Structure 1
Amino acid sequence: MLTDLAEVMHLAYTNDPSWLVSVQFRFDEGYLQVEIDPDDDTVEVSFDPRQRPPLRHWVSDSVPTPTDQHYAGLLGMTSDWRWVLRNQQGYEDAFQIELSTPSSTTTLQYLAMASRLHLRHVNDGPNP
């Protein structure tokens, strides 16, 4: 379990601030990072208890971008569940994280397509 989400940082391609290449979550237990590998459009997930994990693919080509509007309501939440998702061709090309409080849950998905991450909010479906 990762507790008390304190910060979420997006890293974008230097030439286009809307081109998301990595997202970093800071919890009490450490830093969780998702980065896209531009060679095969897969996600790489890393964790470090002390500091932000170094980028492997976008070191000199990325800049931090503001995330306040996307994550302000999620700060303080806990993550019990995280997934790396595999597509029908066998590529690990998405990451999903569930953030929760005792009274609410938000699930975010980061899809790797065309050398960038796309953020999606996962919604509950109707009960059968």
Structure 2
Amino acid sequence: MLELLRNACYDGGNLRRVREIPLDPNHLPIMAVELQFDTLTIAFSAIADDDTIAVTSGSYSGPSRQTISSLWASCIGKSLQWTWLMTNQQGYTDGARLEFTDPDNQQSVIIELVAGASSLCIYLARPTEA
């Protein structure tokens, strides 16, 4: 997983497209998110057996919907500068944190993907005001 995330940061280029793959084709919640960069595609998915997160290379198969939500729209055209894998207190790797940046704009966008109940919850992380 770390190697894929490292490649996305250093060699992926800018984010071009996002697809969300729902558990049920007609409803939320989301079981996977596919991120297409200039030079590679990675997918984050929830593993139902233990509610951990997986990161795989290439397109995710299955019914999906292309997403242009305000959350992901703010990431399009930006590169992935930092990634983190999150491990909970029970030792399960159940989340990822992605920081997208644009060299022309100092404002970064931080997205967190957390697995639970066989699906992914997607969060927008923001700094607090001092």
Gaps of 5+ in 2: 1-9
How far apart are the structure 1 equivalents of 2:14 and 2:95? 23
Give 3-state SS (helix, strand or coil) of 1:71's partner: helix
Tell me the number of residue pairs that the alignment of Structure 1 and Structure 2 aligns.
Answer: 117
1:117 paired to 2:104: no
| Partner residue in 2 for 1:96 | 97
The CA deviation string for residues 19-76 of structure 1, in whole angstroms up to 9 with x for no partner, is: 100001000120011011000000001224xxx1x45xxxxxx521241123223211
1:12 paired to 2:22: yes
The CA deviation string for residues 82-116 of structure 1, in whole angstroms up to 9 with x for no partner, is: 12110011000111111111212000001111111
User: Retained in 2: the 8 A contact 1:3–1:27?
Assistant: yes
Deviation of 1:125 (Å):
3.0
Change (3 A) 1:16 1:114: farther
| Partner residue in 2 for 1:65 | 65
Give 3-state SS (helix, strand or coil) of 1:21's partner: strand
- TM-score, length-scaled by structure 1: 0.82
Change (3 A) 1:93 1:63: same
Q: Would you identify which runs of 4 or more consecutive aligned residues in structure 1 move more than 6 Å?
A: none
| Partner residue in 2 for 1:22 | 32
Query: What RMSD, in angstroms, separates the aligned Cα atoms of the two structures?
Result: 1.7
Indicate the percent of aligned positions where both proteins have the same amino acid.
23
Give 3-state SS (helix, strand or coil) of 1:80's partner: strand
Change (3 A) 1:16 1:92: farther
Give 3-state SS (helix, strand or coil) of 2:13's partner: coil
Change (3 A) 1:17 1:65: farther
Letter of the aligned partner of 2:68 in structure 1? D
Question: Quick check: which one's helix share is greater?
Answer: 2
Gaps of 5+ in 1: 56-61
| Partner residue in 2 for 1:59 | none
User: Retained in 2: the 8 A contact 1:13–1:63?
Assistant: no
